[in-house]
A and B are shown apart, each in its own frame.
Chain A
Amino acid sequence: MCENQSQHGPQEHCSTYIDSQQPRVFLSCWVNGEIISAQIDPMITLLNFLRQGLKLLGTKEGCGEGECGACTIIMNGEAVNACLILAVEAQDAEITTVEGLSTGGQLSILQSEFVSQDALQCGFCTPGMLMSARALLDRTLDPTDPEIKEAIAGNLCRCTGYSPIIAAISSTAKKEREERK
């Protein structure tokens, strides 16, 4: 965990990896609609900044190498793997994490559909799945099954719940289309 804190006193964040003891750099970006300004270690990943720095623990670390998709977030409108991005690369970016999907404690349609369709078992892949699905639905509210599969191909689910996940994304699209009418 945050071993660095004892060495260097309280900090706005610390990385599980390393305190590079490099001069801190100033990062300013939008996270879930709020502007964030922080002095950060230039060597930490965006994933670690979100988790350790901002305590947004919804975004998960699975493989740490861009294979599993558990760390998927939306950055500037695009689904990306937060484990392969340095926090400094997010300068001025608009970021949405799974915490940004609900409003006022109310689950979004997408989240409610995941719940009602049993589209999760252990739940570890769920935040990443939700963000890949959200990015897809932001591009199109009429996705085909192959498009849904393509959008979540980079999100591994070891409980093998893909069918209900695809169904939940599809029914969300339908509900959001109706809501828009």
Chain B
Amino acid sequence: MFSQFKYVKAQTIDEVLTYLGDRDRCVKILAGGTDLMVLMQRNLETPDCLIDIKGIEEMKRLDFVQGVGLFVGASVTVNQVTESKIILEKYQALGQAAKTLASYQLRNRATLVGNVCNASPGADLAGPLLIFEANVHIASLDGRRVLPLAQFFTGPKKTVLAANELVTGISLPDLSSGDQSLYLKQARVKGHDLGIVGVAMRLTLDQKFLVALSAVAPTPIRLLELEEFLNAHPRTPELATKAGEMVQKLIHPISDVRASAEYRLLIAGVLVKRAVTLLTTREAN
């Protein structure tokens, strides 16, 4: 049963910001609704007011500018991400992760920005966005700010976002062609399942590794120490094995309904090893 709420279909960002600036009301943003509606059905979210942002032109933006990068507006769906030629070509890990997120029907509604704002520790798209050094575009009546995604998450389901702030989109810097990346996910069943561990890894044209993991910490995380290790050592076949061992010392996952901490550690090691192997051999070919 839903608690009482008012539904507003906003036409402009300013209209949304005015609602969000009202301190007397609990206002929630409705984009795909695939997380929010479930929480409302369970009465875990009881907003006074739902602001539907799907009618705002600026939120529908999904564009790429050479030399600048990609901008994904807040109402762009996950299936739009999976079908974007530029994302599949340039930001491979993001396209791959989007394909593993929930089911086809849900991906037709779920948005990339919603996946980030929901701030699940296991958010599939967060890892790839972290390795592409994405920025979060935030607006409020006080003005606009742009924040690196790495500074956005503060805990499970928690972000730096203030009650009066709206994420209008996420941007990713342009990449050199030859930039390689991938996303590996371990889940209980193939298709429509939350990840037990997700590994996003990128090898830039100038040979720099970037690594991010999901579902192994209170938030999706970049593993800077592992990146330094990978960048400091020659590309021998042992490098992948050592990276797999090292990641197990760097993360402290918990046990939950999907997997035990021990299993997560084991799988994180396997996936990191596999990712390093795939990226380095792909490069050699």
Contacts and interface: CB of A to CB of B under 8 A. Distances in A.
Contact of B2 (A20, A72, A89, A154): A20
Interface stretch (A28-36, A76-84, A95-103, A112-120): A76-84
A153 B190 CA distance: 8
B192 A153 contact: yes
Interface residues of A, number: 33
B104 interface: yes
Contacts of A65: 38, 41
Interface string A34-73: 0000000011010000000000000000001111010010
Contacts of A153: 103-104, 190-192
B33 A85 contact: yes
Interface residues of B, number: 27
B2 A84 contact: no
B6 to A, nearest CB: 7
Given A84-B38, A150-B191, A79 B6 contact: no
A130 interface: no
Most buried by A among B2, B5, B52, B102: B2
Contact of B7 (A42, A67, A78, A84): A42
20 contacts: A17-B1, A18-B1, A22-B6, A25-B7, A42-B7, A43-B5, A66-B38, A67-B192, A72-B105, A79-B104, A81-B109, A83-B37, A86-B37, A88-B9, A89-B54, A132-B105, A153-B192, A154-B102, A154-B105, A154-B191
Interface of B: 1-2, 4-7, 9, 30, 33-34, 37-38, 41, 50, 52, 54, 79, 102-106, 108-109, 190-192
